[in-house]
Amino acid sequence: METLLIYAAIALVVIVGGGYLALRAWAASAPQPGSLGVDANGLFAPCPDTPNCVTTQQGLPSQTMPALTYTGSRDDAQTRMRTILAGLPRTQLVTDKPGYLHVEFRSALVGYIDDVQFAFDDAAKTIHFKSAARLGMGDMGVNRARMTEITSLWNK
């Protein structure tokens, strides 16, 4: 009987471990969206009709947040934002060009990727952002919480 329990425990570990590794591989293989960046009017692509996206621009009322504001130059604001982002865990700066940042955030357990974009409007002294999960429909409020944290750090 003890041997049977040991084999059952080993089988359970293999199944759970294999499932976890498969889930991590699936999360890591999610392709980068083709809709990243801003259009000629400085707008991000709209959020999908799912709760795993927040934006300062086009979105459902439940998906929108206020834009950030800054004084001084766009370059100084962008440098400050890079510094804030560098202090956050599991963050990779993917695109850094004048007036635009694209950052990937990965979840701790599975490694799901969220794309976060920032567009700096120097004329309005405003930073627009969009934070969206690559996979799935829900995110348990992670994107909103992240952007609330970044907003709080920005406003210090």
> What are the average pLDDT values for consecutive 10-residue runs of the chain, which has 156 residues?
70 59 56 87 93 91 95 98 97 97 93 96 97 87 96 97
> What domains appear along the chain, each with residue ranges and CATH number?
31-154 (3.30.310.80)
pLDDT of 13 reads: 59
pLDDT of 114 reads: 96
pLDDT of 96 reads: 98
Q: Phi and psi dihedrals of 100, rounded to 5?
A: -150, 135
In angstroms, the CA 90 to CA 69 distance is 25
Place of tokens 């865990």: 89
pLDDT of 1 reads: 73
Tokens at 39, concatenated: 């259009």
Element (H, E) at 132: strand 126-133
pLDDT of 41 reads: 92
pTM here is 0.84
Cross-strand bridge partners of residue 115: 104, 132
